[in-house]
Amino acid sequence: MSKTLKIIDDVVIRFAGDSGDGMQLTGGRFTEATAIVGNDLSTLPDYPAEIRAPAGSLAGVSAFQIHFSSKNIHTPGDRVDVLVAMNPAALKVHRGELEHGGMLICNTASFTKKNLTYAGYESNPLEDGSLEDYFRLYAIDMSKFVSEACVDMGIPSKTVERTKNLFALGLLFWIFGRQKETTKTWLRNKFAKRPELIEANIRALNAGYNYGETAEIFTTRYQVSKANLPPGKYRNIVGNYALSLGLVAAAEKSKLPLFFGGYPITPASDILHTLSALKHHNVKTFQAEDEIAGMTSIIGAAFAGNLSVTASSGPGIALKGEALGLAVIAELPMVIVNVQRGGPSTGLPTKTEQSDLFQAIYGRNGEAPIPVITPSTPGDCFYTAYEACRIALKYMTPVFILTDGYLANGSEPFAIPNVDELIPIDVNF
């Protein structure tokens, strides 16, 4: 059967499923393949706020959204064109954001009576006709196809079942003309000591791709042309990673050692993780016992001549208030990163809100002013971090950076800067 090719400007895809279904991995692999094609893109990972909600529950749904285009884009998108729902809960949570006439791909194997009841369905929406009038429904038994693909491998059925996300990835690769090789290379590196897992996942990936090629229900492929980006060498970059590199670049340009002291807190913890892996760039990291210790440690480090940084979220910033006042009156250069999360008090660790501006400006007793700057995109986190360090060292003051969960965990193509072209940072202690 012949397949038609349709040229489109942009598309928003959302992968959704249980926390154990590998949706973040699937989205990450699709993002890498899309970056290689040369599209402009923006991503939005969405994690459950619970530590581990029950499997199949609405609270346990994890999702990853990618918006890619042949034109310049600025957001992960508001409405979804393609929804991949790996279980009933994912469909229940996300169907309201799927465009009328959008593509809905579901794994029928997970639509069991138990899972349907758990998600609040009285009948199976894949069979009762409630979806066909609104969406283009593709109901596929992904679990069966990956089982058939790995039938001669002799590995446990549970292991095979975990590869169904690669089937979905392969299918989306076919629909949107992505290459499989980068994902295969990633799998070989990821599971270098487990060759059976490499083989099982590659078989699942190929099965999904071949299903799109041969199944009569798929009649159209889509092509998003390469974006016309400014000249330069690009890489896909996540906001927290870009911010970490900006801090290191500022330390290199100022010829100061970088000291990071902080307490792990979502969604800021990746900054600590990233900097811990960059010790060869004269970076020292200290995981403190609490937020107050993290803040006071960078006061001591700044006094000793380091470029000092801490990162937290709203609840942690509240605890740092008294020490922040000390840093202001001591006129010590340092950077405080607030990766904002949703809600007051402890809040929602994996959800986003931009509500801490007044906390950053006024959240200290007495007269203790602190400059506050914010990035606009994940890539801009690099330049914002660099500028915060420059301001801190020039004016001998703490500086706040306000980001949020969208910027911290989202990604976009990033033109790798020429370090020689960055604004000089002169230090006069």
Measured CA to CA in angstroms, residue 127 lies from 15, 297, 336, 341, 343 at distances of: 21, 60, 53, 39, 39
Report the pLDDT value the prediction gives residue 211, as an integer from 0 to 100: 97
Measured CA to CA in angstroms, residue 250 lies from 147, 166, 255, 339, 425 at distances of: 51, 40, 8, 20, 7
Report the SS3 class of residue 173.
helix
Phi, psi dihedral angles at 399 (to 5 degrees): -135, 135
Residue with tokens 């940084």: 309
Residue 1 binned pLDDT confidence (cut-offs 50, 70, 90): low
Mean pLDDT confidence for 222-243: 93
Q: Which structure tokens are listed for 318?
A: 């509240």
Report the pLDDT value the prediction gives residue 350, as an integer from 0 to 100: 80
Strand partners, 403: 339
Q: Which structure tokens are listed for 237?
A: 């970059």
Phi, psi dihedral angles at 53 (to 5 degrees): -70, 155
User: Minimal CA–CA distance to 336: which of 314, 352, 358, 354?
Assistant: 314
For residue 113, give every residue at least 6 positions away whose Cβ sits within 8 Å of its Cβ, in sequence order, or none.
none
Locate all alpha helices (DSSP H) within 363-413, ordered by sequence.
380-395, 405-409
Measured CA to CA in angstroms, residue 33 lies from 24, 30, 178, 179, 427 at distances of: 14, 5, 6, 6, 42
Domain layout of the chain by residue ranges: 4-224, 234-421
User: Minimal CA–CA distance to 143: which of 118, 113, 167, 124?
Assistant: 167
pTM of the model: 0.87
For residue 393, pLDDT over 70 is answered with yes
Q: Which structure tokens are listed for 157?
A: 């059925």
10 Å CB burial of residue 7 (0-12, 13-18, 19+) is: exposed
Measured CA to CA in angstroms, residue 98 lies from 55, 82, 105, 415 at distances of: 23, 7, 11, 32
What is d(CA 133, CA 129) in angstroms, rounded to the nearest whole number? Answer: 8
For residue 53, pLDDT over 80 is answered with no
For residue 178, give every residue at least 6 positions away whose Cβ sits within 8 Å of its Cβ, in sequence order, or none.
30, 33, 34, 37, 172
CA atoms within 13 Å, Cβ hemisphere of 375? 31
pLDDT per residue over 134-143, tens digit each?
999 999 999 9
**CB atoms near residue 266 (< 10 Å):** 19
Report the pLDDT value the prediction gives residue 375, as an integer from 0 to 100: 97
- Provide the percentage of residues in the chain whose pLDDT is more than 90: 87
Locate all alpha helices (DSSP H) within 113-180, ordered by sequence.
113-118, 142-149, 157-161, 164-176
- Provide the percentage of residues in the chain whose pLDDT is more than 70: 99
Arch. (CATH architecture) of 234-421 = 3-Layer(aba) Sandwich (3.40)
- Contact call for residues 341 and 267 (beta carbons, < 8 A): yes
Residue 39 binned pLDDT confidence (cut-offs 50, 70, 90): very high
What is d(CA 114, CA 325) in angstroms, rounded to the nearest whole number? Answer: 55
Burial per residue of 328-348, b for 16 or more beta-carbon CB atoms within 10 angstroms, e otherwise = beeebbbbbbbbbbbeeeebe
Arch. (CATH architecture) of 4-224 = 3-Layer(aba) Sandwich (3.40)
pLDDT per residue over 245-289, tens digit each?
999 999 999 999 999 999 999 999 999 999 999 999 999 999 999
User: Minimal CA–CA distance to 247: which of 273, 268, 271?
Assistant: 271
Report the pLDDT value the prediction gives residue 48, as an integer from 0 to 100: 81
The residue type found at 51 is: I
- Contact call for residues 384 and 203 (beta carbons, < 8 A): no
Locate all alpha helices (DSSP H) within 153-255, ordered by sequence.
157-161, 164-176, 181-190, 195-214, 239-254
* More reliable by pLDDT, 199 or 232: 199
Q: How far is CA 237 from the centre of its chain?
A: 10
Q: At what angle do helices 195-214 and 164-176 cross, to 10 degrees?
A: 40
Mean pLDDT confidence for 18-38: 94
Report the pLDDT value the prediction gives residue 8, as an integer from 0 to 100: 96
- Contact call for residues 345 and 313 (beta carbons, < 8 A): no
